[in-house]
Amino acid sequence: MDTDLAALCQSMVAIPSVSHEEEKLADFVAGYLAGFAGLDLFRIGNNIVVRSSFNKSSRLIIAGHLDTVPPDNNQNLRVENGRLYGLGSADMKAGLAVMLGLAESVESFSVDLTLIFYACEEVASTFSGLLEIERTNPELLRSDAAVLMEPTSNRIEAGCQGTMRIRVELAGKRAHTARPWAGVNAIHRLGSLIDRVAHADLENPLIDGLQFREALQAVKVSGGIANNVVPDLANVMVNYRFAPNKDIDQAFQSVKSHLAIRSTETWATISFWRKQCWVQIPI
């Protein structure tokens, strides 16, 4: 491989590509791949797919996402002691650089290769570039195996966990902070609930020889009316990463058991995101 992968990665890190703003990076990738013989290039929105067609006996997909999370004082790239720093350098423009480098050697592979550079991985799945490709040309996603170039410290990680967002809303009673005994503080009521999330005893099942580790995290809290008012409403968003031995309904029941909303915690609602809307579930 003749390509300087570090320089290629640096070039891509220099191109901002926060979710929904991947066009410039998609242009860069498409332009880079356009010159390689033996690859058919497809562009669907800001998703780039290239495929070899050498009639090999099997096909491998190698895929990576173009987008990054929003910057957090890390948008300016720098190189220190031979290491590249900057938004997206690990997740996952280093992987994209490897994919572009592989395109040089596609004729030498024992399999046909599909390279997929897709948009909107770091946001809600409804925006996923993979779904956009599936809707437009599902044949591009056909293969015998697939590798995602997420950063794993150069180790192969097999298996994938599901993800679920759950919103728990607790009500209180509004009052003036000078007379808090006249009300019920909804934010204070979140305390014990968040503590149960933090100390949930989760499963770590071994499935088909693969070790999974579930995770339950409070990721967003909101509530409050004014600085001198006892809040009468507060909610917490919980993210649950669950192993593939559960379906969606089983996963939700598992979350409910971990939340363990007690009879003393009345005025509560619980809902989860399903099929592009919040579904409220009886407690």
The answer to whether position 85 is within a domain reads yes
Mark whether 181 and 211 lie in a shared domain: yes
Catalytic-residue membership of 121: yes
What span, in angstroms and rounded, lies between the C-alpha atoms of 172 and 185? 5
Position 262 scores a pLDDT of 62
Same domain, 104 and 178: no
At residue 266, does pLDDT exceed 80? no
Annotation says 67 is catalytic: yes
Note the residue count of the chain: 283
- Average pLDDT, stretch 197-221? 92
| Residue 153 included in any domain | no
Q: Are residues 94 and 24 in the same domain?
A: yes
Task: Please state, as a whole number, how many other Cβ atoms lie within 10 Å of the Cβ of residue 224.
Answer: 15
pLDDT digits (tens, 9 = 90+) for 39-62: 999 999 999 999 999 999 999 999
User: Looking at the structure, do residues 142 and 204 belong to the same domain, yes or no?
Assistant: no
Q: Is residue 157 part of a domain?
A: no
Given a cut of 80, whether residue 101 has pLDDT beyond it is yes
Reduce the secondary structure of 4-66 to three states and give it as a string.
Answer: CHHHHHHHHHCCCCECCCCHHHHHHHHHHHCCCCCEEEEEECCEEEEEECCCCCCEEEEEEEC
Q: What is the CATH number of the domain that holds 263?
A: 3.30.70.360
Of the listed 67, 91, 169, 214, which one is catalytic? 67
Does residue 37 fall inside a structural domain? Answer: yes
What pLDDT sits at residue 280?
Answer: 60
Residues 88 and 208 in one domain: no
Structural domains of the chain, count: 2
Question: Looking at the structure, do residues 253 and 215 belong to the same domain, yes or no?
Answer: yes
State whether 259 and 188 are in the same domain: yes
Residues 135 and 174 in one domain: no
Q: What is the pTM of this model?
A: 0.74
Boundaries of domain holding 95 = 5-148
**What pLDDT score does 108 carry?**
87
Same domain, yes or no, for 69 and 170? no
Query: Which of these is catalytic: 22, 112, 121, 232?
Result: 121
